[in-house]
Structure 1
Amino acid sequence: MIMHFQFKPLFENKNIPGWNFSFYHKKQRFTGVYHQTGKIEWTSNTPEQEEMEALKSQIHELMLYHVYE
């Protein structure tokens, strides 16, 4: 489960898509970049392979809810 999810625009011009995000999962902090295409680029720790798809799905849902509402 993702906890303390945060995001902010990559660029000062908020019309340019791309967002930095961070969250905690199992007491470990993860950060990354969410691109307009939905691609996730990890900038810190990479989640374990068996958790990767579930976390990506949760991030996509959160971004759709908060950014594209």
Structure 2
Amino acid sequence: MLQHFQYQPLYQDRRIPGWTFSFYFSGKRFEGIYHQDGTIEWLSDTPNVKDDSHLQKEIHDLMLYHVYDSER
């Protein structure tokens, strides 16, 4: 489970899509960029292969909820 998930716009002009995010998972901090098309660019160490797809799904769901659903 992700803990302390945070995100913020990548650009000062908030109309330009792209967000930075950070969270803790299994006691380790991860950081990345969430692009408009849903791809994730890791800025920290990448999660291990076993956790990667699970974490990407959780990040995607959180971004959909916080960014896209809140704009409605």
Superposed pair shares fold, TM > 0.5: yes
Distance between the aligned counterparts of 1:9 and 1:22, measured in 2?
12
Give the CA RMSD over aligned residues. Answer: 0.3
Distance between the aligned counterparts of 1:44 and 1:59, measured in 2?
15
SS of the residue corresponding to residue 21 of structure 1 reads strand
SS of the residue corresponding to residue 68 of structure 1 reads helix
Q: Hey, what does 1:62 align to over in structure 2?
A: 62
Amino-acid identity (%):
54
Q: Hey, what does 1:15 align to over in structure 2?
A: 15
Q: Hey, what does 1:3 align to over in structure 2?
A: 3
Distance between the aligned counterparts of 2:67 and 2:48, measured in 1?
26
Number of residues of Structure 1 aligned to a counterpart in Structure 2: 69
Residue pairs, 1:20-35, within 5 angstroms: 20-35=20-35
For 1:2, the aligned partner's letter is L
> Structure 1 segments of 4 or more deviating over 2 A?
none
Unaligned runs of 5+ in 1: none
Name the structure with the higher helix share.
2
For 1:51, the aligned partner's letter is D
Provide TM-score, normalisation by structure 1: 0.99
- In the TM superposition, residue 42 of structure 1 has moved relative to its aligned partner by 0.1
